[in-house]
Amino acid sequence: MKRRFARPRIFLAATLLLASVAMLRAAPQSPATTQAPAAPAAPATPGQNQPPIRVTTGLVHLVVTVTDRQHDLVTDLNQSDFTILENGVPQPITFFGRETDLPLRIALLLDTSNSIRARLQFEKDAAIDFLNKVIRRDKDLAFLVTFDNEPEVIQDYTDEVGLLNTAIRDQRAGGATALNDAISMASEKLSRAPAPRAEESDIRRVIVVISDGHDTLSDHALIDAINGSIRSEAVVYTVSTNTDWLAIDNPNKPKKYNMDNGDRVLQQVADETGGRAFFPYKVDDLARSFLDISTELRSQYFVGYTPKNLPESGEYRKIIVETDRKGLQVRSRRGYYAGAGN
């Protein structure tokens, strides 16, 4: 008889024990052990899936590039040569430097869709040459994202150029084009970029996109991708793979350029983030585009200011950076979201 009832009693005891544990979990915790509630997420801007990165300083910092009429970089300007307007209101500059040595965090986005198959090998060679020239061991970091039907991080953050080069060489073309998703992924990853050494407080976030600009499969809209880059403080450089040139008079020096919708997308992304769009015609032009990017990254200004009127969290403010020197062109991002890293 004992054996017959042994199992039910064990089962009953186990049931009571589990019920007691459940009651203890459901019971309210004492003040000594209760954790503070998580801070509420900042309100998302319409069209933006990720909440903005929070900062508390209120400082807006800008990477500024200045060129002359010949598109040569101008690197000898002083703080007094610049004027910053936020929503049309002049702002006092509180920080200024010619930043040529800040650690770089670079996202290289390589379009591997079927539409760029003919130029993929040239693009891989130029991208490898670019990384070899730019990445400094123990200082800069880069990661590789390829995108066709969807974006994928092929090589994570590293300062080992050999790892990046191998990952680039292994790529093959095929599939559709998820450009907006790739930019959004890279921006979010850059927003959490590894910090530099203790003595260095700032880093430069850069996205380099190699594509024809024709998005055919993204879940994100173009405005989402641009907003994500702005929020992460990433400057976007775009290199077009479009070969739709129109030669006029001299076929060796095409005057063109018949920008298609993809080219206009690449131009818009670069303009809104303070970067630059490149439209190489020949293979040599492609290599030159990457050389210009690497040179520009070491020839810019780092400018900071605190807005006179602090904006509400999530509010977008337009920025114009000007110089009183005639004949110069100034490039910087065109705005920021309050509370989004500034």
What would the pLDDT profile of 79-102 be if each residue is shown by its tens digit?
999 999 999 999 999 989 886 678
Strands 234-240 and 89-91: unpaired
18 has a pLDDT exceeding 90: no
Instruction: Identify whether the C-beta of residue 61 lies closer than 8 Å to the C-beta of residue 342.
Output: yes
pLDDT the model gives residue 249: 53
Share of the chain above pLDDT 70, in %: 76
DSSP string across 95-160: EEE--SSPPEEEEEEEE-SGGGGGGHHHHHHHHHHHHHHH--TTT-EEEEEEESSSEEEEEEEES-
Q: What is the C-alpha to C-alpha distance for residues 24 and 180, in angstroms, rounded to an integer?
A: 48
Look up the CATH superfamily of 104-298. Answer: von Willebrand factor, type A domain (3.40.50.410)
Q: For the chain, which residues make up each domain, given as ranges? A: 60-99+311-337, 104-298
Q: What is the C-alpha to C-alpha distance for residues 98 and 78, in angstroms, rounded to an integer?
A: 9
Side chain identity at residue 26, one-letter code: A
Q: Over 218-262, what HEC string results? A: CCCCHHHHHHHHHHCCEEEEEEECCCCCCCCCCCCCCCCCCCCHH
pLDDT digits (tens, 9 = 90+) for 21-52: 343 344 433 333 333 333 333 333 333 333 33
The mean pLDDT value of the chain amounts to 81
pTM of the model: 0.78
pLDDT the model gives residue 281: 78
72 has a pLDDT exceeding 90: yes
pLDDT digits (tens, 9 = 90+) for 117-141: 888 988 898 899 899 999 999 999 9
Token pair belonging to 13: 């005891």
Q: What is the C-alpha to C-alpha distance for residues 308 and 23, in angstroms, rounded to an integer?
A: 55
Please state the rounded mean pLDDT for residues 205-223. 96
| Phi, psi of 311, rounded to the nearest 5 degrees | -80, 160
pLDDT band at 340 (very low <50, low <70, confident <90, very high): low
- DSSP structure class, residue 184: H
